[in-house]
Structure 1
Amino acid sequence: MPSRTLEAPAHADRSARSVDPAARRRLRKFLSYYRPHIPLLAADIACAIVIAATALALPVCANWITRNLSAAAGPEAAIVAILTMGGAMLALVGVQALCTLFVDYQGHVMGARIESRMRQELFEHLQKLSFGFYDRERTGQLMSRITNDLFAVGELCHHGPEDLAISLLKFLGAAAILAWLDPTLTGAILAAFPVAVVYALYFNGRMNVILRQGKAQIGAINARVEDSLSGIRVVKAFGAEAEETRRFAVENDRFLAIRRAGYLSEAHFSVGMEAFAQLVTLAVIVAGAVRVAQGALDVADLLTFLLCVAILIDPVRRAVNFVRLWQQGYTGFQRVMEVLETEPDIRDAPDARTLGRVRGEIRFQDVGFTYRIGGPPVLRGVSLDIRPGEFVALVGASGVGKSTLCALLPRFYEATSGRVLVDGRDVRDVTLESLRRNIGLVQQDVYLFAGTVLENLRYGRPDATRAEVEAAARRACAHDFIRELPDGYDTDIGERGVRLSGGQKQRLTIARAFLKDPPILIFDEATSALDNESERAVQQALTELARARTTLVIAHRLSTVRNADRIVVLAADGVVEEGRHDDLIAADGPYARLHRTQASL
């Protein structure tokens, strides 16, 4: 089972720590994504500092103009002084605009690059995870993490550093100017800020919970959409459009309820912060006017005080935006980390060796398997030896583990007990890539990718020439029908090969296996749903493909494996019978009973 790193602390005393170890580790991981962009990040923060500094300089310039009006020698001198300072202020505004342009563009580019790197890392990790992970997870949820969640992370990576830098500098700078103008009034204003902080932290916690619920629910919506649209032909065949609409409405309404609760908390947060800003401004106007009347403050200083209070409030507004970005971005990052911290069930051993082209000898030694710890066993003590080049059919009732046994060979799942060997080497001692390079699969559930016939055939060998592709198609009895397609090998076959018949899709998968040219072949028979002509073509292609290869066939129709070198009958307790068709019929055992049952249908 995959190991996650989100377990609760093992000892109660750990809960007293200020920061959870998992949270610290994730924070370090988050910050590590900035490492390749340190020069750009430094430039972004430098521009943010300049933005804050110019914003603070403007009220000081205004104070200088107001104070020096009366000190000027005459109107002309006053105008010259005003225009000079006005030019300086205009230059400050120009510098501020240029820095803001840099921050908005280059900062967004940096965030997009980090987002892109995370998305690539997440996708690569998803490729490494084993079948067991995908047995538990829904595709829509994973798609939500790789798209919606990472977009929010990108926004946080861009706006987070600059908002923090600007907010901190503006707040400290404005507070310093205010304290220089009137320490008493400044102290009274700053004393009110802890109330705003407590208020913000309360609704911040509420928004965090709701945002996590919302991201999980949008994943559920994606899963519902993906499931419904992937099976749209089944939906229409059963006339179930209304039922699918009802199911989607249920998930959509749940998401709406979560969004409504989130917007309520966000509204309380934003309104509270805005009200706080307005109250502070009002208090400054009233208290400042009183201080002017008392002679403790002059009009020039009151004007500067009001301008600086506006600057002091801006960090509060930015804090509102930063908290929103933090909640959305870091919540999304945590959901991404939950996947990245999921260890693959199956991986290369530290000393795994590369497996060259094998002869094809296969041995299952006392193999047992369960899909989950403590779950019911699917396989018990299965032992089976297969000679190189032998054609072996696995038969038995549904659920006895025929497909599971074959899935252990390429290590799609790991045997719970016993060993699986290829040419005498345990499959756990060789690299996954080299092991799977030696095995070809023609599965019952045919899957073709959206694209052309040529792209699908080259999937296992992207470097194959067109001549090699056509040769493989001929051997799979697919070349003739491919040539009749509108654009031949360059025909777009649609999503999952929807524009092809079942027999055509099956022959393409066989051609793909021919092109790979593996010494070991696993064929999960899928001819039962085909018409007679398609079945004959597929059987002919299969016979050609199996020649001179070790072949394992999962047989559902016993008539298709009469000529197998050996037929192995699986039951709940493992291998119960094996031999050639005629010998097993004569023995009148489990195989003969299965054969009679199918013949009577």
Structure 2
Amino acid sequence: MSGVGAGRGHGGRIGRGDYAAQRKLNAQTPRVDHLVRRIGDLFRPYRGRLVLTAALVLLSAALSVVPPLLTQRVFDDGLFPASGRINVPVLITLVIAMVVLFVVSGVFGVWQTWLTATVGNRVMGALRVRLFTHLQAMELSFFTRTKTGVIQSRLQNDVGGVAGVLTNTVSSVLGNTVQVIAAFVAMVLLNWQLTIVALVLMPFLVIAQRRVGQVRARIAGATQESLSELTAITQETLSVSGILLAKSFNRRRSEIARYADENETQIGLQVRQAMSGQWFFAMVQVFLSSIPAIVYLIAGWLITGGAHNVTAGTIVAFTTVQARLLFPLLGLMRVALDLQTSGALFARIFEYLDLKPAITDREDAVSVTTAEEECRTDRFETRAPQASPAPGRSDHRPGIGIAFEDVVFRYPDAREGERATLDGVSFAIEPGQFAAFVGPSGAGKTTISYLIPRFYEASAGVVRFAGRDVRELRGESLVSHIGIVSQETYLFHASIAENLRYARPRATDAELEAACRAANIHETISSFPDGYDTLVGERGYRLSGGEKQRIAIARVLLKDPEVLILDEATSALDSVSERVVQQALDSATSGRTTIAIAHRLSTIVAADVIFVIDGGRLVESGTHPELLALGGVYARLYTQQVQAAV
């Protein structure tokens, strides 16, 4: 592929230095209130289920403090009543009530778990789809400067990393809050002096929890960044292309070492993440374990002092309720800690969701069909050549006119002061014409093919399609009228039929066969044991270059576009394959406006018009004989190729 777009190395390996800003973002501890608000927005579509979940949580939490109160009655009224004799009827009644409460709480718990799991996973799934949808809308330059593995990591690892927060946050916050309030009230009712003892150290635990959360958030950010790099290495090196490259350059050991080094970094970060906060939780455990003993001591001191409201039942009930208070408090701390820890992950997810696509449709954008109707009397329409319909086409459409008017373009990552990739390029292609773009490597030919379907936006000037500025057209409508066959054909790891139907999912078998016959590939496919059900392998590696190109041409024919862009579609093929593919291309271009970006000039000598691009400028245009007679850049390139062939 020629042109600056290919020469820049877009999509290659990008050093970690390019993610300095991302690292800085990950190193920051996001505000919990801001995260809670944005997480709450994710749950908004599930209000009904959340209300039901909240009701169950509130009931379960309220019921959880009743058994300790019944326990007090069991001790004071059943086992050790004032009469001195066990009150069997009261004891049986209280025990039955406790069992019924446990059964009801268990049922509520299962129902609550199902609801929270369902809502949480749906929220997580919706977040993943939302992120994927948003990425689909991003401009091409975003993907040329971002590793595929990093994008995959955001979709899989980051969203998966917040699954626990999404599934447990609401129920945990509601349930633990109600339990804390109910337990606190019960403790005060039982004995206010013991309540003060049980809660005296809680503020110190809250302060410690915040500090631990900040540390864990920073470690979580570094862990996910390392995991992104690990995913990127895997995606690069274990693809078919990566394996072939490593084997051909004997770089197997270095790739293993690179993966092992990053894996070692990941291990260290995972260990740090696992250990961070362990001293805090150990301190909490000591505190929780010590409180009952301290309560026993204070209770004994109160009884010795003559307190009459401290009985054996009170002590047992209080220590039970105290556990019902401290463990929910610990649960709330864990939620806050999880939010802080997950803050870096949410920041990475929201960072992508907050990206604004550089190329979007205007509110008043129209379809290409509307533009064509408005342009029926345009000069392109009146001078259109009478091309014959392409194979399989049901109507005769002479193609669509394309024009560049003083177009200037610089790639988004171009350095300041760097020469523009395209500098004041102007030309016009009439409907149905076969136009070729030639010139030295890096001249800007491929960039022109990117601007027509608006994969990139012109920095200045106007790109016209069907007489309208492409910025005035709806993106989907524009692309639906354009078919592209590039030098590097991409096929999915699926059957030939599935790859063909990517252009038109509801195409019939007869339509598939007609397109493949027109692309000169049907007989080859029929010779395979599985025919159209043959799996092509990763990126089509089970097929030859010529076979892949002809399948790509058939796929474009199935789409049936009015404009066909051929970006050096035969330059990587041998002479035999090139001849067969060229025959398929001749069939595909019939009745369509065709733009061919060519390195081998022998493939475009019959073009209606040839545009010569050099240094980002249009320097020559005309037919093959006219350009040879001119004796300029084209004549020099053609002479060099003819001499090289001899």
TM bucket by the smaller chain? over 0.9
1:388 aligned residue: 431
Q: 1:600 and 1:282, CA in 2 relative to 1: closer, same or farther beyond 3 A?
A: farther
- Which stretch of the first structure deviates more once superposed, 590-599 or 129-138? 590-599
Q: 1:219 and 1:45, CA in 2 relative to 1: closer, same or farther beyond 3 A?
A: same
1:368 and 2:381 correspond: no
1:345 aligned residue: 358
- In structure 1, what is the Cα distance between the partners aligned to 2:625 and 2:47? 74
User: Contact 2:406–2:424 at 8 Å: present in 1 too?
Assistant: yes
1:300 and 2:340 correspond: no
Q: 1:489 and 1:338, CA in 2 relative to 1: closer, same or farther beyond 3 A?
A: same
Q: Matched residue of 1:461: which SS?
A: coil
- In structure 1, what is the Cα distance between the partners aligned to 2:537 and 2:468? 41
- In structure 2, what is the Cα distance between the partners aligned to 1:471 and 1:269? 70
User: Contact 1:274–1:317 at 8 Å: present in 2 too?
Assistant: no
Q: Matched residue of 1:356: which SS?
A: helix
Q: 1:432 aligns with which of 464, 468, 475?
A: 475
Q: 2:274 aligns with which of 256, 263, 271?
A: 263
1:14 aligned residue: none
2:628 aligned residue: 585
- Which stretch of the first structure deviates more once superposed, 137-146 or 370-379? 370-379
Q: How does 1:148-159 map to 2 (within 5 A)?
A: 148-159=157-168
**Alignment-mate amino acid for residue 71 of structure 1:** P
CA drift at 1:586: 2.8
CA drift at 1:521: 0.8
Q: Matched residue of 2:529: which SS?
A: coil
**Alignment-mate amino acid for residue 209 of structure 1:** R
1:83 aligned residue: 92
User: Contact 1:419–1:426 at 8 Å: present in 2 too?
Assistant: yes
1:542 and 2:585 correspond: yes
- Normalised to the residue count of structure 1, the TM-score between the two structures is 0.92
**Alignment-mate amino acid for residue 567 of structure 1:** I
User: Contact 2:217–2:342 at 8 Å: present in 1 too?
Assistant: no
CA drift at 1:62: 0.7
- In structure 2, what is the Cα distance between the partners aligned to 1:300 and 1:29? 46
Q: 1:273 aligns with which of 284, 288, 295?
A: 284
- In structure 2, what is the Cα distance between the partners aligned to 1:532 and 1:490? 29
Unaligned runs of 5+ in 1: 1-5, 8-17
- In structure 2, what is the Cα distance between the partners aligned to 1:596 and 1:268? 78
2:170 aligned residue: 161
- In structure 1, what is the Cα distance between the partners aligned to 2:446 and 2:284? 61
CA drift at 1:584: 2.0
Q: How does 1:280-291 map to 2 (within 5 A)?
A: 280-291=291-302
CA drift at 1:304: 1.4
- Which stretch of the first structure deviates more once superposed, 555-564 or 339-348? 555-564
2:552 aligned residue: 509
Q: Matched residue of 2:369: which SS?
A: coil
Q: 1:235 and 1:373, CA in 2 relative to 1: closer, same or farther beyond 3 A?
A: closer
Unaligned runs of 5+ in 2: 1-20, 23-28, 373-398
Percent identical among aligned pairs is: 35
User: Contact 1:49–1:166 at 8 Å: present in 2 too?
Assistant: yes
Q: 1:441 aligns with which of 466, 481, 484?
A: 484
- In structure 2, what is the Cα distance between the partners aligned to 1:287 and 1:247? 61
Superposed CA deviations along residues 45-68 of structure 1, whole A, max 9, x for unmatched, are: 222222222221111001111111
Q: How does 1:81-480 map to 2 (within 5 A)?
A: 81-230=90-239, 231-296=242-307, 297-356=310-369, 359-372=399-412, 375=415, 376=418, 377-480=420-523
User: Contact 1:149–1:329 at 8 Å: present in 2 too?
Assistant: no
1:570 and 2:613 correspond: yes
1:10 aligned residue: none
**Alignment-mate amino acid for residue 365 of structure 1:** E
2:54 aligned residue: 45
User: Contact 2:492–2:538 at 8 Å: present in 1 too?
Assistant: yes
Q: How does 1:9-88 map to 2 (within 5 A)?
A: 27-68=36-77, 69-71=79-81, 75=85, 78-88=87-97
Figure out how many residues of one structure are paired with residues of the other and give that number. 583
**Alignment-mate amino acid for residue 458 of structure 1:** R
User: Contact 2:216–2:341 at 8 Å: present in 1 too?
Assistant: no
Q: 1:424 and 1:26, CA in 2 relative to 1: closer, same or farther beyond 3 A?
A: farther
Q: Matched residue of 1:360: which SS?
A: coil
CA drift at 1:27: 4.4
- Which stretch of the first structure deviates more once superposed, 56-65 or 114-123? 114-123
- In structure 1, what is the Cα distance between the partners aligned to 2:178 and 2:205? 19
Q: Matched residue of 1:460: which SS?
A: coil
- Which stretch of the first structure deviates more once superposed, 246-255 or 432-441? 246-255
